[in-house]
Amino acid sequence: MLDFNVILERTKETAKKAGEFIRQESESFNVDKVEHKGFNDLVSYVDKQAEKIIVDNLSQILPEAGFITEEGTAESNGEAYSWIIDPLDGTTNFVHGIPVYAVSIALIHKNELQIGVVYEINRDECFYAQKGGGAFCNGKPIKVSKAPTLGDSLVATGFPYYDFGLMERYLALLANMMKKTHGVRRLGSAAMDLCYVACGRVEGYFEYNLNSYDVAGGAIIVSEAGGKVTDFDGGSNHVFGRNIIASNGNIHEEMLEEIKIFKKS
């Protein structure tokens, strides 16, 4: 029988090990070393090496598990368990020297998240959760905000950076959110957006055109912190469905109503 407490502790160690490598490389990183996977889709040797560190360590923790990784250093299907890894969520921030980026790791079992770890490197904040065990940051329990309405809330989002086909719809949604909240923030890291919902720094987060490795680690942390996470339809396909809404729960229905502008425009 798997001991998820042990697995979680070793996963945290792995995230911090990769994070330390990224921190060291940030001190001497040269933009000339950046590659382009696609239009505005940046990657560097730092992403790739950090992913190798993570895969090597996780393979020892749970050898039977498969991998879903951003940089493709390990792609395999496990019988029941899979690790979902983003070695450097916020690569563009990293490349430009903006200190908001993180390591994100999740363990999923038959489409149900079991563990999530997000290590924000510059603030040395390790957010983590285990199914049914609550959410934590650096050993302290975290909870979502108690703000009762969208009008009492600060929300986060992500901007399109390569697929601009839905830009007009998104701008309409953004305009409404700007008018009906305390403000809208764009951090540049989906993993951190989710963790900031989990610890109450923002009340809600929405974004589309995402991958599983962008959101898996943070999604379970929000849920275990007492928040709510769905796709844009209010369903449960937020890990693989390429869109997500996360909130403190109180404002979730209001956010879904606003998302209708995006879906129907």
Binding residues for Mg(2+), as ranges, are 70, 86, 88-89, 214
Amino acid at 34: V
Rg (the chain; Cα; Å): 17
In angstroms, the CA 61 to CA 115 distance is 13
* Known binding positions: 70, 86, 88-89, 214
In angstroms, the CA 199 to CA 178 distance is 22
